[in-house]
Amino acid sequence: MKCIWMVMFLAGVSVANAEKPNIIVFMADDMGFADTGFTGSEDILTPNLDKLAASGVIFKQGYVNHAFCGPSRAALLSGRYQHRFGFETNPAYDPANPAMGIDPGEKLFPERLQEAGYVTGAVGKWHLGAAEPFHPNNRGFDYFYGFLGGGHDYFRIDLTQSVKEAYLQGLVRNRRPADFEGYLTTALSRDAAEFVETNKNEPFFLYVAYNAPHAPQQAPPEDIERYKHIPDKKRRVYAAMVDVMDRGIGEVVTALERNQLRDNTLIFFLSDNGGPQPSKSQPGKWNGSDNQPFRGGKGNLYDGGVHVPFIASWPAMISPGQTFDSPVIALDIARTAVAVAGADATVEPTMEGVDLIPFVTGKNATAPHDALFWRDGDGRKWSVLAADGTKHVQDNDTKSPQLFFLPDDVGEQDNVLESHPERAQELYAKWSKWNESNVPCRLMGYIDYHKKRDLWYSEAVPDGAKKAGYKPKVKSNFK
């Protein structure tokens, strides 16, 4: 009798798991808002992303939680504003530093999915700490293939070079060193598709975090040649990088279709922030991206830095061909994933964000958020966006805060603060209330960190070595 009960129990578990949707999050890196077909690009081909967008919903006001890489990813994977745990800058790559990464007390949402019966995998860029406490296998991922730092060369590994931000270091597969063949973006896509094949018989979550089209600007020659019609060389290489990423996303979706998993797979796509744009102080900062029609880019709290391409597709649940106009944010991806998986978002630390499914299926006709919030530099830069599109922002470009009404001024050019001071005060009061639950940034930025570490090594060189002419190599391969 006991054996029969056990068989029935296991069968029940199998049926329950079969009903759970698979979940995939694709994240691009430093991608311009206007660089997909579904956001208006006419010179870069993204047929696979366009197909995904058409099969589900385009979030017209889709935002990320930070204007550059590491903090944006910390918010996405924790499902909480990263300011709650002091992750407000990019951590330096240092496998020996057990403090240089995301707070071990944060429960990342893949761990919540594991508890709900999911197999979890991450492929690509991590950037949440390189030491053991931060390793993806310790933070909710059963499988990891990629690199632990903030970027990587797309064609080579060279362990003879200075480590610094590890752009030339080897990759990692779970806890072992790993290599890649050919072009890195293609290798990551191939591995992600293999994850689907390997785990097709149980519910899975897959986080595919491309470093494309982040620097260094590199692409296969044959793909660059496909974009020879683009006059600007940097834009031409950038277009090829996006194109290869799009084809890789198509490869993963094909793996779903081949195994009859597509209908019951919830897919999100977004970029971690806007594309870098040139400035007076950094005229060469541009990576070839296009953030039109927005102001600013990576590093700015104007929409060019945080308003990104953002879509969701789930054929079994979300009707195709939709657009959604109210503001949503990357936190909502984590909360939605946990909700559809039947996991627990209330286990401390409690997740933020909202489950987007009731909103995109029409069950809830209200705006998902009363307001969204941003902070950088421990509050030296800040922003708040209300559901009606009114935005109050303090960025480095100006000495005083500004107020914009985005439905009439998407490019943030017409500052209406003087004519609407009460509205500005109201929004700043909301921001201040939100900010009460934040803590100071507990990480040193990677540039300052490397300077201090290099200085320490320089001073630590023994006198005998100095007399012999030894000088520590401190040249960075980070570009």
Tens-digit pLDDT profile for residues 333-392: 999 999 999 999 999 999 999 999 999 999 999 999 999 999 999 999 999 999 999 999
Host domain of residue 459: 449-479
CATH number for 174: 3.40.720.10
Q: Are 169 and 103 part of one and the same domain?
A: yes
Q: Which residues contact 268 (CB under 8 A, 6 or more apart)?
A: 24, 25, 26, 310, 311, 312, 333
Q: How confident is the model at residue 467 (pLDDT cuts 50, 70, 90)?
A: low
Query: Does residue 365 lie within any of the structural domains?
Result: no
Query: Does residue 193 lie within any of the structural domains?
Result: yes
**For the chain, what is the domain count?**
3
Strands 171-173 and 176-178: antiparallel
The answer on pLDDT for 52 being more than 60 is yes
Query: Does residue 441 lie within any of the structural domains?
Result: no
Query: Does residue 345 lie within any of the structural domains?
Result: yes
Four-point Cα dihedral 208, 209, 213, 218, nearest 10: -80
CB contact at 8 A, 97 and 131 = yes
Four-point Cα dihedral 152, 155, 159, 165, nearest 10: -10
Q: How confident is the model at residue 466 (pLDDT cuts 50, 70, 90)?
A: low
The answer on pLDDT for 21 being more than 90 is yes
Arithmetic mean of pLDDT, 127-145:
98
Strands 204-209 and 22-28: parallel
> Can you tell me the distance from the alpha carbon of 377 to that of 253, in angstroms, rounded to the nearest whole number?
39
> Can you tell me the distance from the alpha carbon of 312 to that of 196, in angstroms, rounded to the nearest whole number?
18
Arithmetic mean of pLDDT, 116-134:
98
Q: Are 382 and 344 part of one and the same domain?
A: no
Asked which of 329, 360, 391 is the last residue of a domain, the reply is 360
Q: How confident is the model at residue 458 (pLDDT cuts 50, 70, 90)?
A: confident
Q: Are 336 and 418 part of one and the same domain?
A: no
CATH number for 390: 3.30.1120.10
User: What number of other Cβ atoms are within 10 A of residue 46's Cβ?
Assistant: 25
Q: Are 47 and 124 part of one and the same domain?
A: yes
The pair of three-digit structure tokens given for residue 212, joined into one six-digit string: 């494309």
Q: Are 54 and 97 part of one and the same domain?
A: yes
Please state the φ and ψ torsions of residue 126, each to the nearest 5 degrees.
-105, -75
Arithmetic mean of pLDDT, 205-231:
98
Arithmetic mean of pLDDT, 36-41:
98
Query: Does residue 354 lie within any of the structural domains?
Result: yes
Pick from 258, 110, 269, 248: nearest CA to 188:
248
Q: How far is CA 111 from CA 29, 139, 170, in A?
A: 24, 7, 26
Q: Are 175 and 222 part of one and the same domain?
A: yes
Arithmetic mean of pLDDT, 395-402:
90
Q: Are 415 and 472 part of one and the same domain?
A: no
CB contact at 8 A, 411 and 295 = yes
Conformation bin of residue 68: beta by default, left when phi > 0, alpha when psi is -120 to 50: beta
Q: How far is CA 397 from CA 187, 297, 358, 401, in A?
A: 39, 12, 38, 10
CB contact at 8 A, 92 and 150 = no
Handedness of CA 287, 291, 297, 298 (dihedral sign): negative
Q: Are 66 and 100 part of one and the same domain?
A: yes
Q: Are 108 and 180 part of one and the same domain?
A: yes
Enzyme catalytic residues: 69, 127
Q: How far is CA 99 from CA 66, 80, 311, in A?
A: 21, 20, 34
Asked which of 360, 394, 425 is the last residue of a domain, the reply is 360
Query: Does residue 3 lie within any of the structural domains?
Result: no
Q: What is the pLDDT of residues 251-266, one digit of tens each?
A: 999 999 999 999 999 9
Q: How confident is the model at residue 330 (pLDDT cuts 50, 70, 90)?
A: very high
